[in-house]
Chain A
Amino acid sequence: MRAAELPNVVAIRARDIDPGLPTPIWSSEPTWGPTDPEVVRSATRERLRGVEWSRITRGSTVNLLANPHGFALCGEAYVVMLEEIERDVVDRTGGRVRLRIAESMGHIENPDWMKIFDLAARFGDVAEVPQIGRGIEIDTRIGRFWLVRDLFSADHFIHTHVSEMREGYLHRMLDRLLKPFGMAYTRVETRSAYHFGYGPRTGQIVSRAVFESSFVQDRYTATIVLDTSPEGVIGVDADNDLDALNRRVSVNLLRNYGTLMRTLAEIDEVTVVFDGHGCFVYAYGAGVAFDNLLYGALDFLDLDNLALMAGLVSVLPTDRGLFLNLNPAIKCLVMNYMPGGVPFIGSIKNIPTILVDGPASKWLINDPCNPSLADYARHAPDLPGAMRDAEEIAGTDKVIIYDGVPGALNVSASLATHLLERAPAVAADVRDRLMPKWLQQRGLG
């Protein structure tokens, strides 16, 4: 049973929370916009006219770097964008383009995108490249790091991205589009240093340093990004100048996700149901990742808040703003369907968790990243039973479902009422106070 089929669950549109959302040019759901990916192809073609490929010579090799999140969030629209980039480079330069997908624990975390989108047939030379693959050491202005060698084993590379709001508590919307240079394109050494070696507003300095390294700059050509809103793709943007592109996209991101993020922070008590293909913090509802609720009690977009991950220190002062604690509004978690691949035990130790029996629960219990899940989660034979238990544990009938549906949140009627009551005031606060502050703090105002 899917969670959206539970009695008393209703859908509220992201647009009802933020009426100012731009109209998508593409959505995976016809309710929100056109579903024909050819619109994205045309938009990509148009934007690529302004991109300079002069560094690429006939016969030289070009790695077109992709990421699993692009396939997960934008599906065929992302594939079409990649196809159009390849076509443009081949037509204009005669370069040899190879698709390289930067992965973490791909086989656990992701569906098989190669098969789902028939990537081998559509791109020819294509490979999935995990973070544990062979590395290459590079020097940067702040010291040495390691990249995944096979992503950069070409004369040039092209950076692609999907501009959604995930891991904001890590990148803090600083140098947002550079993040893969500190994470997705790097070996585990660099990723670990990003998490442990810098402060809560400074991890992205790794991305900045790696991107500006001579190794990367010698190979970098351009960046192409699908700009998104909670409803789908709102445009394609591209630039040789990543900083210029980052400034444009960052403004859009703050504008298009900020109100929804802060409205979710208004939830006072809730049971969270996972029922889609995204592991824990990477589970989505209305195009917004769960991490925005998990850490949403504190506005981590406000750089005045240190928002240090509480798990990284041993002594916890209580000053508001210093620490990024789990959202106390989350009273219970129900896992109906969810893949593994991302550690979340540290969170569920502090939140009662119910696992709905079935193939997915067996999969989760065997997940290498969460080997003690069975020690912390209780079981329920089916979803209705889990929800009865959850209501008793949580002491509330408010429910939010992360099931990967774009454009709308599936929630209990009680939570829908709560969110819709709060949304207008939140939208006004974001417009009048927070947005100017967020922009000013990043030099985007």
Chain B
Amino acid sequence: MAKTVRMVAEILLDRCTGCALCVYVCPTVALTLRNRADDDPVGPGTRRVAELDESTCYNAQNCLEVCPEEAIVMHELDEPFRIGVDPKVVDREAIGRICSSAGYHPKQPVCFCADVTAGEIAASCLLGAATPGDISVMTGARTGCTELCNQPVLRLLAAAGHSDPPQDPPRGFQVYGIAAQGFDLLDESGHVDAAVAAEFPLYPLDRDLQALRGNFEGA
């Protein structure tokens, strides 16, 4: 599928202090800092300002959310554009291997905002994506709620050989890492260790994890 991008951000240079918070949260790494130019509007006295690459601004609005100066506004695009990856242009078996290794079915939706499947994330890896930012630029994933798809994106990247990608920019915090998941608690028998399960008596951990794997017997 594809995301239709309908808005673009604008940095209000008379308000921007160059604090870089927007740079640190942009999922497509479309923001950087630059020195103030002589012909920029008069600002709050700081030397640096944010600069936007409009071609990779996908209307995520993370920048708007974190800006402490209300120095970012959104504008409707005259011509919305669509982004996305067609998994059919990539080897199907290779997509299957990445998805299987990460624990997702290729058709499973992982980004519910941009309507992106695990297979499309895997395809973008095979087409050269090596970081979460690359994934976002190619598929539009992570540019909506930013929440749901975070772990599938990181796990699919890891399955494609890009474990623990570096922060981009280096001090940014678009992503941190792969969090614990239930399948980590399975032992060699494929079940949750009884001692672990006993620590959480309220939760049917093993039955739920078996169901997630498609085994509904006893669920």
Contacts and interface: CB of A to CB of B under 8 A. Distances in A.
Given A133-B66, A192-B152, A368 B180 contact: no
Nearest to A130: B65
Contacts of A145: 179-180
A282 B127 CA distance: 38
Given A198-B182, A199-B209, A315 B214 contact: yes
B207 interface: yes
B138 to A, nearest CB: 16
A351 interface: no
A186 to B, nearest CB: 9
Nearest to B173: A134
A208 B209 contact: no
A431 interface: no
Contact of A342 (B5, B62, B140, B145): B145
3 nearest A-B pairs in the assembled complex, by CB-CB distance:
A199-B208, A143-B180, A197-B181
A341 interface: yes
A191 B182 contact: no
Interface-centre pick from A105, A135, A315, A317 (highest chain B CB count, 10 A)? A105
A369 B148 CA distance: 11
A131 B175 CA distance: 11
A195 B147 CA distance: 9
Interface stretch (A31-39, A53-61, A66-74, A306-314): A306-314
Contacts of B209: 198-199, 202
B115 A368 contact: no
Interface of B: 1, 3-7, 24-25, 59-62, 64-66, 74, 76, 105, 107-110, 112-115, 140, 143-152, 154, 173-185, 196, 199-200, 202-205, 207-209, 211-212, 214, 216, 219
Nearest to B214: A315
Given A191-B150, A368-B59, A345 B115 contact: yes
B65 A311 contact: no
B216 A188 contact: no
Interface of A: 103-108, 130-135, 137, 140-146, 174-175, 187-193, 195-202, 204-206, 208-209, 303, 306, 308, 311-315, 317, 319, 322, 341-343, 345-346, 365-366, 368-372, 374-375, 442-443
Contact of B179 (A106, A189, A311): A189
B163 to A, nearest CB: 14
B219 A197 contact: no
B217 to A, nearest CB: 11
A146 B150 CA distance: 12
Nearest to A349: B115
Contacts of A209: 180
Given A105-B145, A146-B176, A368 B61 contact: yes
B131 to A, nearest CB: 15
A343 B148 CA distance: 9
Given A107-B64, A208-B200, A315-B214, A343 B144 contact: yes
Q: Which of B114, B150, B174, B205 has the most CB of A within 10 A?
A: B150
A371 B142 CA distance: 12
A371 B4 contact: yes
B180 A322 contact: no
Contacts of B62: 132
Nearest to B208: A199
Contact of A132 (B6, B25, B216): B25
Which of the listed residues A140, A189, A193, A371 has the most CB atoms from chain B within 10 Å of its own CB? A371
Contacts of B177: 137, 144, 146, 189
Contacts of A374: 4
Contact of A311 (B112, B200, B204): B112
Nearest to A205: B203
Given A104-B147, A202-B182, A343-B145, A174 B203 contact: yes
Contacts of B148: 191-192, 195-196, 343
Given A132-B62, A142-B196, A368-B144, 16 more contacts: A105-B146, A131-B146, A143-B181, A144-B179, A144-B180, A174-B202, A193-B151, A195-B148, A199-B204, A204-B203, A205-B200, A206-B180, A308-B212, A322-B219, A343-B113, A366-B76
Contacts of B146: 105, 131-132, 188
Contacts of B185: 142
Contact of A192 (B76, B174, B179, B212): B179
20 contacts: A103-B65, A104-B145, A105-B61, A105-B145, A134-B24, A135-B176, A146-B177, A175-B202, A193-B180, A197-B183, A206-B180, A311-B109, A313-B214, A319-B216, A345-B113, A366-B59, A368-B7, A368-B59, A369-B144, A369-B145
Contacts of A366: 6-7, 59, 74, 76
A103 B147 CA distance: 12
A208 B114 CA distance: 31
A370 to B, nearest CB: 7
Contacts of B154: 189
B59 A371 contact: yes
A209 B88 CA distance: 41
B108 A314 contact: yes
Nearest to B204: A201
Given A197-B180, A366-B6, A368-B143, A108 B152 contact: no
Contacts of A315: 105, 214
B5 A371 contact: yes
Contact of A189 (B6, B66, B175): B175
Contacts of B212: 199, 308, 312-313
B76 to A, nearest CB: 7
B179 A346 contact: no
Contacts of A303: 204
B113 A107 contact: no
